[in-house]
Structure 1
Amino acid sequence: MTHHHLLLAGCGDLGTELGLRMARKGWTATGIRRSADKLPQSMTPIAMDLTEPGDQALPPADAVVITLTAGVREVDEYRRTYIGALHGLRSALDRGGSDPQRVLLVSSTAVLGDPDGQTLTEDAVPSPERPTAQVLLEAEHIAKDLFPNLSIVRPAGIYGPGRGSFIGRVRNGEPMNHRKITNRIHRDDLVTVLERVLEADRPPSLLHAVDTEPAPMGEVAAYVAKKLNVPVPPDKPGGPQGKALDSTRMQELVGTLRYPTYRQGYDALLT
């Protein structure tokens, strides 16, 4: 299936990287964000607040990728950002007479909750505990109703350029639960996942976007601490033991990741 016009809804760092990559492949990439002047020249900008589109219409598109980001981790903000923007996007597409053949929603593995150390595939039943994660799951259901041809991509722990919060925690020696199982994906690999879903003849309806090695937080912290030449942050036992996310379905679609484990990813960031 060949697409020609890609709409990137909520076009921040992730959407911009994807748009640049698809533009290099000859697609027309249009980025929708409140401050459209921040987009690179190879992308067509549309200044729009999707939560309040008014009577603005969006041009016809072959594919839409939805990468929304809430300003703060509060339920009301999540509800406004995710659920409000999904309804606004649908109405602005309808106003322009657009019915995209392919729609991707970037959600989060947070919707799965924190089962005690279990390994989960895409068949796992979501059980979000945090109120913000409950809103994300509600947004997934609403998106399915609004866009019947939807693919949902759930990344975990996105890190990479400009996303160094874990490095900061290690550098500052913040206590953390060493035994908690964690999952992550490098930003560049996540863009590749989205690219492959866009181009797939039969895109998956749901995909975990995670690297190939879930790992205890203490192990990852020790690796990063060694690269930084700082002490390993102290252990803070207790709390949920995390989950190991199975990436088999993603690997079948994408093949080998550029950063298949945290080691390659943090080597690239810290070397």
Structure 2
Amino acid sequence: MASRTILIVGCGDIGSALGLQLQAQGYRVIGARRDSRSVPASFEAIQLDVGDNASVSALPDADVLVYAISADKFEESAYQSAYSQGLDNILSEFEQRPQPPRQVLFVSSTSVYAQSSGEVVDESSPTTPYRFSGQIMCQAEQRLINSPLPGSVVRLSGIYGPGRERLINQARDGYTVPQNPAVFTNRIHRDDAAGVLAFLIERYQQGDAVDDIYLASDDEPATLYEVMTWLAQRLDVTPSQQLDASARRRSNKRCSNARLKAQGYRFRYPSFREGYADVLENLK
């Protein structure tokens, strides 16, 4: 096994940002995804179908394994394939290898939380999701936590950043949401999502304790009204129509990043203001 080799399964937006950061630190980076042509040119690219045993068994050994796959559609079967079955296939392969990974990270999401009344949630909060997406994520999380391989689950909140500009486009088109009832949203910039993963890898490499679960969200849960009002002001748009925010109320909670902060991670974009200001600047 090559020294400081990282294998990123599902080397998409976040995986690529992570790989580029680690490559700059001297890591050998292997990116695996269904379409290997989309892997950054500086990585070693592998075409991978996590549902195909031959494809999985052909993966090379690595010191660090990051599972960052995205389901290709919002359907139960797609989630089962990507998260439950896919992760199980990968872990089952690497668990029986003579030189298994020394660290595994699974990129999960805050969909595992059912709380919807503005509660503060952290890594110890109950996870009793009522939608299939959260239920399948919970199954996948437990598969890693129960694995003999040393691993951590990283629950990302709503990811935004370059190429993830839906809210900006809605604000630009004059949309807002009702101020009341308040609906809290939680978000993390793409670069911080990758930064958290890199931080946990480096922490493990240095011999520091790494927990089973991390909640990765920025410092400031904010109401959707506050975010959209701020965007409208920055875009010099007067909101003229309202979006239906009822679907958003199902995820009305406030995510605490206290564990990550206590262990030393500092957010590049501590709130939506810094993050969206950067995105808007780059859109000019």
TM-score (norm. length: structure 1): 0.92
AA at the equivalent of 1:139: A
Match of 1:195 in 2: 198
For 1:228-247, what per-residue CA distance to the aligned partner results, in whole angstroms no more than 9, with x for missing partners?
Answer: 22233526465447111111
With over 3 angstroms needed to count, the CA separation of the structure-2 counterparts of 1:255 and 1:197, relative to structure 1, is closer
Query: Following TM superposition, by how much is the alpha carbon of 1:76 offset from its aligned partner in structure 2, in angstroms?
Result: 0.9
Query: Following TM superposition, by how much is the alpha carbon of 1:35 offset from its aligned partner in structure 2, in angstroms?
Result: 1.4
Gaps of 5+ in 2: none
Gaps of 5+ in 1: none
Task: Give runs of aligned pairs for residues 213-224 of structure 1, distance below 5 A.
Answer: 213-224=220-231
AA at the equivalent of 1:50: V
Match of 1:107 in 2: 108
The answer to whether residue 272 in structure 2 is matched with residue 262 in structure 1 is: yes
The answer to whether residue 188 in structure 2 is matched with residue 185 in structure 1 is: yes
CA distance in 2, matches of 1:76, 1:241: 22
Seq. identity, %: 33
- Do 2:113 and 2:129's aligned partners in 1 also have CA atoms closer than 8 Å? yes
Comparing 117-126 with 86-95, greater Cα deviation is found at: 86-95
CA distance in 2, matches of 1:195, 1:206: 15
Match of 1:79 in 2: 80
| Alignment counterpart, residue 246 of structure 1, candidates 256, 261, 264 | 256
Query: Following TM superposition, by how much is the alpha carbon of 1:220 offset from its aligned partner in structure 2, in angstroms?
Result: 0.4
With over 3 angstroms needed to count, the CA separation of the structure-2 counterparts of 1:176 and 1:134, relative to structure 1, is farther
| Alignment counterpart, residue 204 of structure 1, candidates 206, 211, 217 | 211
- Do 1:6 and 1:62's aligned partners in 2 also have CA atoms closer than 8 Å? yes
- Do 2:95 and 2:148's aligned partners in 1 also have CA atoms closer than 8 Å? no
AA at the equivalent of 2:168: I
Query: Following TM superposition, by how much is the alpha carbon of 1:157 offset from its aligned partner in structure 2, in angstroms?
Result: 0.7
AA at the equivalent of 1:34: R
Match of 2:155 in 1: 154
CA distance in 2, matches of 1:128, 1:169: 28
Query: Following TM superposition, by how much is the alpha carbon of 1:96 offset from its aligned partner in structure 2, in angstroms?
Result: 5.5
TM-score (norm. length: structure 2): 0.88
CA distance in 2, matches of 1:175, 1:191: 29
Task: Give runs of aligned pairs for residues 1-271 of structure 1, distance below 5 A.
Answer: 4-54=4-54, 56-93=57-94, 97-174=98-175, 176=177, 178=179, 179-200=182-203, 201-232=208-239, 233-234=241-242, 236=244, 238=246, 239-240=249-250, 242-271=252-281
Query: Following TM superposition, by how much is the alpha carbon of 1:251 offset from its aligned partner in structure 2, in angstroms?
Result: 1.4
- Do 2:199 and 2:265's aligned partners in 1 also have CA atoms closer than 8 Å? no
CA distance in 2, matches of 1:10, 1:73: 17
- Do 1:59 and 1:96's aligned partners in 2 also have CA atoms closer than 8 Å? no
Q: How many residues of Structure 1 are paired with residues of Structure 2 in the alignment?
A: 269
CA distance in 2, matches of 1:235, 1:164: 16
CA distance in 2, matches of 1:122, 1:42: 35
CA distance in 2, matches of 1:95, 1:126: 30
Comparing 94-103 with 176-185, greater Cα deviation is found at: 94-103
AA at the equivalent of 1:82: Y
Query: Following TM superposition, by how much is the alpha carbon of 1:164 offset from its aligned partner in structure 2, in angstroms?
Result: 1.0
AA at the equivalent of 1:23: Q
Comparing 217-226 with 84-93, greater Cα deviation is found at: 84-93
Comparing 252-261 with 22-31, greater Cα deviation is found at: 252-261
For 1:106-141, what per-residue CA distance to the aligned partner results, in whole angstroms no more than 9, with x for missing partners?
Answer: 100110123311111211011212221111111111
